[in-house]
Amino acid sequence: MARVAIVTGGSRGIGRESAERLASDGFAVVVVYGGNKDEAQAAVDAITGRGGQAIAAQADVADEQAVAAVFDTAEKTFGGVDVVVHAAGIMYLAPVAELDLDRLDRLHRTNIRGTFVVDQQAARRVRDGGAIINFSTSVLGLALPGYAAYAATKGAVEAVTLVLARELRGRDITVNAVAPGPTATALFLDGKDEATIAGMAAQPPLERLGTPSDIAEVVSFLAGPARWVNGQVLRANGGIV
């Protein structure tokens, strides 16, 4: 029987690449999407077209009933849940002095409450021997102007990750966070001019932006062979910090 992974934010970017990578590793995958059913179905089709197993499921990650229903679906369809990759998130950029507080509330709801809700279900329902993988950001260490609200939400993600790893003692479940650096996704590229992008690409010693597949490689590692990596934040950023 295949191991089963739930991937939130699985219809695009790092989430989609992670879903496809886990499917190629032999996981049956539940691709969780927020609003774009067509993109989620395209991710499913890409996986099944290569002989993998996948279904799409819609959920607002901050809605505990919707998230519980996703886990129900995974259990009914594939028999259980072994890995949860929580890649869903939103980002608004503005200096502290200028940020619209409604946007702060939306960041909090999706990035903090959403992580807590997904992790709560994962803590209750991931099978022994599984893995929970959250997403932080390397911006937390870089402290870039304009990123205060977003980085603050990811600081909360790291706190939840490290505590949950210890709360799951005795179940052989690892809990880690991946903290990408600048990665060429729509979320990152949106609103940035070429000079800004070129400047960020020049920062790592490897002198390029990360790619979604670079991050999916780390997810694959944490979801599978990395059984002795637990309660950690893995900064996948080409060596910026």
Position 186 scores a pLDDT of 76
- Is 47:72 a contact under the CB 8 Å cutoff? no
Report all structural domains of the chain as residue ranges with CATH numbers, in order of start. Answer: 4-236 (3.40.50.720)
- Is 15:85 a contact under the CB 8 Å cutoff? yes
Token pair 């699985």 is found at 10
Distance in angstroms (rounded) separating the CA atoms of residues 163 and 23: 29
pLDDT beyond 80 at 190: no
Per-residue confidence band for 194, with pLDDT thresholds at 50, 70 and 90: confident
Higher pLDDT, 116 or 1: 116
The phi-psi region of residue 239 (left if phi > 0; otherwise alpha if psi is between -120 and 50; otherwise beta) is: left
For the segment 30-50, the average pLDDT, to the nearest whole number, is 96
For the segment 93-97, the average pLDDT, to the nearest whole number, is 97
pLDDT beyond 80 at 187: no
pLDDT beyond 80 at 172: yes
Average pLDDT, the chain: 95
Helix and strand tally (H, E) in the chain? 10, 7
Angle between helices 37-49 and 13-24 (to 10 degrees): 20
Token pair 């990596």 is found at 229
Query: Which of 33, 92, 147, 150 is labelled catalytic?
Result: 150
Per-residue confidence band for 169, with pLDDT thresholds at 50, 70 and 90: very high
Per-residue confidence band for 188, with pLDDT thresholds at 50, 70 and 90: confident
Position 236 scores a pLDDT of 95
Q: What does pTM read for this prediction?
A: 0.95
Token duo for residue 3: 């191991």
Distance in angstroms (rounded) separating the CA atoms of residues 69 and 64: 9
Distance in angstroms (rounded) separating the CA atoms of residues 65 and 63: 6
Position 96 scores a pLDDT of 98
For the segment 198-211, the average pLDDT, to the nearest whole number, is 88
Per-residue confidence band for 241, with pLDDT thresholds at 50, 70 and 90: low
State the Cα angle at 168 between 165 and 173, rounded to 5°.
Answer: 80
For the segment 223-239, the average pLDDT, to the nearest whole number, is 96
Q: What is the pLDDT of residues 107-159, one digit of tens each?
A: 999 999 999 999 999 999 999 999 999 999 999 888 989 999 999 999 999 99
Per-residue confidence band for 97, with pLDDT thresholds at 50, 70 and 90: very high
Q: Would residue 150 show up in a list of annotated catalytic residues for this protein?
A: yes
Backbone angles phi, psi at 19, to 5 degrees: -60, -45
